[in-house]
Amino acid sequence: MNVWIAVGLTAAGCYLAKYLGLLVPASALERPVVQRLAALLPVALLAALTAQQTFGDGRELVLDARLGGLAAAGLALVLRAPFLVVVAAAVAVTAGVRALG
């Protein structure tokens, strides 16, 4: 039952946050600092999620084949490869490292 209470409170909190966002005046949203933060925040959150999923395993730091895949994807991105090539490079390198280990 506690899980459903947590789910309900989280859903209510999300709706409340969305409603409060609608109440913010347009002048506050047009500030350059707010626009810069709005552009950079999703990137930072996605990077943090990627790092946590790649290097975390419960409460331990894990360096395994996923690190090679992430490095390959990063290199492909630096070389401006298309998205599917980035994913394919990450998958191929991860599989290769796992096959060697």
- State which H helix or E strand residue 60 sits in: strand 60-61
Question: Do 100 and 65 form a contact (C-beta atoms < 8 A)?
Answer: no
Q: What pLDDT does residue 71 have?
A: 95
Report how far residue 95's alpha carbon sits from residue 100's, in angstroms, rounded to the nearest whole number: 9
At 15 the pLDDT is 96
Instruction: Give me the pLDDT at residue 33, please.
Output: 94
Low-confidence ranges of the chain (pLDDT < 70): none
Q: What's the pTM?
A: 0.59
Alpha carbons 69 and 53: distance in angstroms, whole number: 13
Identify the pLDDT of residue 50: 87
71 vs 1: CA distance, rounded Å: 42
The predicted pLDDT at position 58 comes to: 81
What are the φ/ψ torsions at residue 91 (nearest 5 degrees)? -65, -45
In order of 18, 21, 23, 77, 97, the CA distances from 71 in angstroms are 36, 37, 42, 10, 12
Predicted local distance difference test score (pLDDT) of residue 57: 83
